[in-house]
């Protein structure tokens, strides 16, 4: 595995690869099995895998967890090497943002709901850094987790809008044995919060069952989720049902839907979702 920290080194090491396809896995590090699933899929579908680890300040709001975001470079290097990553790009902030931006990317669609609404500017930061990383790596395919479904839909639209010659591949959410979605942020849960957190996924599954059983009243469906959540309701930042991938209000219950939730714990904000399509076990 080549470890590169500058744009120049990245460029050289990509140039030195033999001819073949490149799968790209952008991450913020503190790697867990969710990230590894992305690497595995990228390995299966490409000749080479490039991974980036960059905690992007542009996508964190002023009161968010940028400084508390967990980091462990040594652990990440070991896992990336074991998984067979070919090139690992670990830039520092000034490598990605050498000068203040003259041009920014502003996401227009799908940002009036969920994390777009709750975290103003977040997806502008995500789209801007990915636009930069895509240009630096020039991959054939890029891999994103369904856990960040709003991000995934926004990246698909970015690629379409700007004719980027990259295929975006979706990877299903990897979970702990008790159903909690794997996340770098889980390390910031207290012992009690960690015990409680699997209820988030159980509640989504209760809502999903309701829809698959034919319920078409949004309030009934959300009430079912809230019933399972119990006292966790007090910590819910958002809970909503939309059509997917448009993130518009549901008008047709037989289309693909997303039931999405964010829960604010003391030092960790967790998000999760279920994609739902009637007649299909997995949407």
Report how far residue 65's alpha carbon sits from residue 22's, in angstroms, rounded to the nearest whole number.
32
Closer CB to ligand AMP, 181 or 239, in the complex: 181
Closer CB to ligand AMP, 27 or 83, in the complex: 27
Closer CB to ligand AMP, 28 or 215, in the complex: 28
CA dihedral of 210, 214, 217, 222, whole degrees rounded to 10: 10
Q: Where are the alpha helices (DSSP H) in 162-217?
A: 191-196, 199-212
For ligand AMP, which residue of 182, 201, 208, 269 counts as binding (CB under 6 A)? 182
Q: Which run of H or of E encompasses 218?
A: helix 218-229
Find the binding residues for ligand AMP in span 222-261 (CB under 6 A): none
Residues that are catalytic = 35
Nearest distance in Å: CB 148, ligand AMP: 4
Q: Are 43 and 50 in contact (CB under 8 A)?
A: no
Nearest distance in Å: CB 15, ligand AMP: 26
Q: For ligand AMP, what does the binding mask look like between residues 128 and 157, x meaning CB under 6 A?
A: ----------------xx-xx---------
Through-space distance between the first and last CA atoms of the chain, rounded to whole angstroms: 35
Stretch that binds ligand AMP, among 109-117, 179-187, 241-249, 261-269 (CB under 6 A): 179-187
Nearest distance in Å: CB 145, ligand AMP: 2
Taking CB under 6 A as the rule, does residue 188 contact ligand AMP? no
For ligand AMP, which residue of 50, 80, 171, 203 counts as binding (CB under 6 A)? 171
Report how far residue 88's alpha carbon sits from residue 234's, in angstroms, rounded to the nearest whole number.
40
> What is the spatial order of strands in the sheet that 2-4 belongs to?
2-4, 87-89, 48-53, 22-27, 141-145, 167-171
Closer CB to ligand AMP, 22 or 181, in the complex: 181
Q: What is the DSSP string of 25-54?
A: EEE-SS--HHHHHHHHHHHHH-SEEEEEE-
Find the binding residues for ligand AMP in span 23-52 (CB under 6 A): 27-28, 34-35, 37-38
Nearest Cα residue to 229 out of 258, 206, 195, 208: 206
Nearest distance in Å: CB 184, ligand AMP: 5
């Amino acid at each position: 595995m080549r470890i590169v920290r500058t744009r120049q080194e990245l460029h050289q090491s990509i140039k030195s690869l033999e001819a073949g396809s490149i799968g790209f896995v952008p991450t913020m590090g503190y790697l867990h099995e969710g990230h590894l699933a992305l690497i595995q899929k990228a390995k299966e579908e490409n000749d080479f895998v490039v991974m980036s680890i960059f905690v992007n300040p542009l996508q964190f709001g002023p009161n968010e967890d940028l400084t508390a975001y967990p980091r462990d470079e040594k652990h990440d290097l070991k896992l990336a090497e074991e998984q067979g990553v070919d090139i690992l790009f670990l830039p520092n902030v000034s490598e990605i943002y050498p000068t203040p931006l003259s041009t920014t990317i502003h996401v227009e669609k799908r940002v009036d709901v969920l994390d777009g609404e709750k975290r103003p500017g977040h997806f502008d930061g995500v789209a801007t850094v990915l636009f930069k990383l895509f240009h630096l790596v020039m991959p054939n395919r890029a891999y994103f987790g369904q856990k960040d479904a709003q991000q995934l839909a926004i990246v698909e639209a970015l690629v379409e809008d700007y004719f980027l010659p990259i295929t975006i591949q979706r990877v299903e959410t990897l979970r702990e044995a008790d159903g909690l979605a794997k996340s770098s942020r889980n390390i910031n849960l207290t012992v009690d919060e960690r015990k409680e957190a699997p209820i988030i996924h159980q509640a989504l599954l209760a809502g999903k069952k309701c829809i698959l059983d034919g319920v078409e009243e949004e309030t009934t469906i959300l009430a079912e989720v809230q019933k399972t959540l119990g006292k966790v309701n007090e910590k819910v930042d958002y809970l909503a049902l939309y059509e997917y991938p448009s993130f518009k209000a549901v008008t047709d219950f037989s289309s693909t839907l997303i039931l999405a939730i964010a829960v604010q714990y003391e030092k960790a904000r967790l998000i999760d979702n279920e994609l739902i399509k009637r007649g299909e076990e997995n949407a």
